[in-house]
Amino acid sequence: MINFNIEIARTVFRVQCRNESLRQRYADYITDKEAELSVCASDEELAETRESYQELRKKYGDFKTADEATIEALVHHKQVAGEMLRRGVLLVHGSAVAANGKAYMFIAPSRTGKSTHTKLWLGLQDVGAYIINDDKPMLRPTEDGVIIYSTPWGQRRKPEKSEATLKAIAVLERGEKNIITPIGAKEMFPELFRASLRGDKREETMLVMDLEDKILSSVCSYRLKCNTEPEAAQISYNMMANND
């Protein structure tokens, strides 16, 4: 086994892995700090993850063949998410971008265009936009707001600023015209629930729902219909950044 420590969302994990290439995959998150928790993929977990990945390939068609390092990393991702959930941190399937010191997250089913949209934000002028994580960020509600963190899943390179205060969440849908409208927490709740990584146990479901309540009480919620033109980023930024 290969051993090293990584820090994610201010929590240090001891990684025990079989594939040396994972050291490079997690390179930006490796730390000398003492580990609080540990992750290690069992044979059973690896087999289950291979099977699940193959199902996704059948469903979407364009998924690349996963090597053993990728399969092992997916097991780590699930284990870390479970441990962090019990510590008040929620892992979400979404794409997050920061601009002018605040973060904005977009959620939607796979292949809808979340990452495509957040990358458009990088072309906005004078806002200092950068991607926090384009697939699996983590959210921690605090007394001072919701903190969003980068993770090594979905985006291996860690941004220079790997955490920010989340200001808004938008449900993204494809559309010919760019339209963004505010929605209430009640309408956003099921959308965020579907995007959140959770286990099958009732206890885990309740933890997710409790965290969602806290998150949605602190951020603004929107529904965005957009195309892939640069105007889409400008319209969503103008609404989300300037509406308190």
Q: pLDDT tens-digit profile of 181-199?
A: 999 999 999 999 999 987 7
Q: Which long-range contacts (CB under 8 A, 24 or more apart) does 10-17 make?
A: 10/149, 10/163, 11/36, 11/37, 11/83, 11/84, 11/87, 11/89, 12/36, 12/37, 13/37, 13/38, 13/39, 13/80, 13/83, 14/38, 14/39, 15/39, 15/40, 15/76, 16/40, 17/41, 17/72, 17/76
For 90-242, CATH number out of 3.90.228.20, 1.10.510.10, 1.10.10.10, 1.10.3720.10 equals: 3.90.228.20
Amino acid at 108: A
* Dist CA 49 CA 176 (whole Å): 37
Q: Return the domain boundaries, the chain.
A: 2-85, 90-242
* Dist CA 168 CA 218 (whole Å): 9
- The mean-pLDDT minimum among 58-72, 98-112, 178-192, 225-239 falls in 58-72
pTM: predicted TM-score of the whole model, two decimal places: 0.92
Q: pLDDT tens-digit profile of 43-78?
A: 999 999 988 878 777 766 656 667 899 999 999 999
* Dist CA 198 CA 22 (whole Å): 24
